[in-house]
Amino acid sequence: MITFAGAYTALITPFCDDGTKVDLGRLGNQVAFQAQGGVRGIVPCGTTGEAPTLAEHEHAAVIECAVSTGRPLGLQIVAGAGSNSTAQAIHLHRLAASLGAHAALQVTPYYNKPSQEGLYRHFMAIAESAELPIVLYNIPGRAAVTLLPETVERLAKHPNIVAIKEATGSMDSASEIHRRCSIAILSGDDSLTASFAAVGAVGVVSVVSNLVPDRVARLCHDIASGDLHALRRSHESLFGLSRGLLALDVNPVPLKCAMAILERDTGAVRLPLVRASEQVRAAIESLLREAKVSGNTDSLERSKLRETSATS
């Protein structure tokens, strides 16, 4: 069993220009970049990784690449393995275990809207299926169902259920979970990481750390150290980018656009998602400049020149 605390990056899945193939070479580079930035772990095949659009052989290849690259660099690998089918979630959970992941991220079943008892039985069946730690993923905005604190308390009694990615945006929910049990709470929203820490969260599963892993790792270091002034500075340095990036379009569209501007990704997403519009791209370029996030060979400056030329 492993403990969970600190910064975990919800990895994008890089695609070639037309989105037909996964770019494993670029994925390996991104994993190495995360390790250099000092994050605790990486989360492949989650929401940010467009897992619903991956064929099973692609899903396996992404996890395998994350494990083979990330493990030697000291990263914890928390592989997305969730489904709204309990049987499929068990299958993916066992697959993640066989590929060498340290843990699996298990999202609440989406679309079919189970009861709390159904959620309990779903996660317990997965927990019994393999000796692999589980990070619960509570995201009612996408799943249309909320894992309530009392159900989390019941689930936390199982030795394989050890953490929760709390993406409810609710301080009350995080507070109640912390009051009821000792499960590790990880913020599921970058802009709320510092706030959640105040009520017991110990880290974050971060989107923005795809761009600035060092800054998110610093934020989590400040949480662990209890240095409130340093934590406030770290939070403020990330807040504009964290809030702005995810307000412009659905994740990971703005993130992949930002990475394309920084020349670290093609920006391609798979249908039903579509690339960021030119208006959104211009807003993202401004966000990156304001946050002083630089890319390869001054790519942001070249973007600024293109923007100036287009309006002249």
The whole-chain average pLDDT of the chain stands at 94
CA-angle at 187, arms to 219 and 83, nearest 5°: 140
Residue 192 DSSP symbol: G
As given in the structure block, the two tokens for residue 269 are 């997403």
pLDDT band at 143 (very low <50, low <70, confident <90, very high): very high
Give tens-digit pLDDT for 173-201: 999 999 999 999 999 999 999 999 999 99
Distances (CA, A) of 174 to 191, 200, 277: 15, 8, 35
Question: How many C-beta atoms surround the C-beta of residue 312 within 10 A?
Answer: 5
Q: Are 74 and 42 in contact (CB under 8 A)?
A: no
Which fold, 6-226?
Answer: TIM Barrel (3.20.20)
pLDDT value, residue 295 = 76
| Maximal CA-CA distance, the chain | 63
| Separation of CA 41 from chain center | 10
Among the listed residues 78, 17, 12, the one whose alpha carbon sits nearest the alpha carbon of residue 43: 78
Q: What percent of the chain has pLDDT over 90?
A: 93
In the set 157, 165, 256, 292, the catalytic residue is 165
pTM of the predicted model, to two decimals? 0.93
CA–CA separation, 67 and 79 (whole Å): 9
Prior bond of 52 cis (ω within 30°): no
CA-angle at 262, arms to 256 and 268, nearest 5°: 30
Domain map (residue ranges) of the chain: 6-226
Distances (CA, A) of 158 to 41, 115, 195, 250: 23, 19, 28, 34
Give tens-digit pLDDT for 33-52: 999 999 999 999 999 999 99
Residue type, 233: R
Would you call 165 a catalytic residue per the annotation? Answer: yes
Q: What percent of the chain has pLDDT over 70?
A: 95
In the set 137, 157, 256, 292, the catalytic residue is 137
Give tens-digit pLDDT for 220-269: 999 999 999 999 999 999 999 999 999 999 999 999 999 999 999 999 99
Give tens-digit pLDDT for 47-74: 999 999 999 999 999 999 999 999 999 9
pLDDT value, residue 306 = 40
CA–CA separation, 45 and 58 (whole Å): 10
